[in-house]
Chain A
């Protein structure tokens, strides 16, 4: 089985621009979560998608949006980039089921730098 993949690996944007980050879930998984990890901090939950709908959101403004596609790949879109958006963006996939929690598998991340 293949693991979670993310693209691109690195990205440099300027303030005010828009960016799209991509993630491919692990085979058989039906949820995709996105996290932002600023330098020296732990990951912070942005949102999760399940069956192509947002299924939980963290404390992030509406300019952070996402999509999940039928093949369970996902996109994270950030509009009007700010300097503080510079971070490592992690994608994690999992399997939503009857149990209370299912392990989430993380991708390698996309390093976004906003100048």
Chain B
């Protein structure tokens, strides 16, 4: 069965500092990886997915199949980045397109 691990429950950084959220997964096939974000009092929303290979709000994430990781990075954190971040995995062409989520990392960006 697939599994997603986010080892950090809380990341606290100062504004302008780099931030990296770790995500490791276990699955022997070819998964699709995603980062979802939940800002205070807002619903869960997609931040980015590895297939898109794009930068969203300054965030990037690279899928490393050798290390089975999909870490999220931003070189200069902003206060508005404070939120809960979830790494998620979906199996390509699987019935149901279910998302398997990690436990989440809370990011706090201090002024």
Which A residues are within 8 Å of any B CB, using their own CB?
A: 4, 31, 33, 35, 40-45, 47-48, 50, 55-58, 90, 92, 94, 96, 100-109
Q: Using A41-B103, A42-B103 as known contacts, say yes or no to A101 and B97 having CB atoms under 8 A apart.
A: yes
Q: How far is the CB of A66 from chain B (nearest CB, A)?
A: 12
Q: Are B43 and A56 in contact (CB under 8 A)?
A: no
CA distance A64 to B93 in the complex (A): 25
Contacts beyond the supplied A56-B96, A58-B98, A106-B43: 17 A-B pairs with Cβ under 8 Å: A35-B99, A40-B103, A42-B102, A42-B103, A44-B101, A45-B99, A55-B95, A94-B97, A96-B97, A100-B93, A101-B51, A101-B90, A101-B97, A102-B97, A104-B46, A106-B44, A108-B43
Q: Does B45 contact A (CB under 8 A)?
A: yes
Instruction: Tell me the bound Cα distance from A98 to B53 in angstroms.
Output: 20
Determine chain B's interface SS by DSSP, over half rule.
Answer: loop
| Per-residue contact bits, chain B 25-55, to A (CB 8 Å; 1 contact, 0 not) | 0000000100000000001111001010000
Alpha-carbon separation in the docked complex, A94 to B104 (Å): 22
Contact of A104 among B6, B92, B99, B104 (CB under 8 A): B99
Kindly state the separation between the CA atoms of A48 and B4 in the bound complex, as whole angstroms.
20
Interface residues of B toward A: which range? Answer: 20 to 34
Determine whether B69 belongs to the interface, using a CB cutoff of 8 Å to chain A. Answer: no
Residues of B within 8 A of A107 (CB): 43
Q: A56-B96, A94-B97 are in contact. Are A100 and B32 (CB under 8 A)?
A: yes
* Chain B residues, Cβ within 8 Å of A50: 96
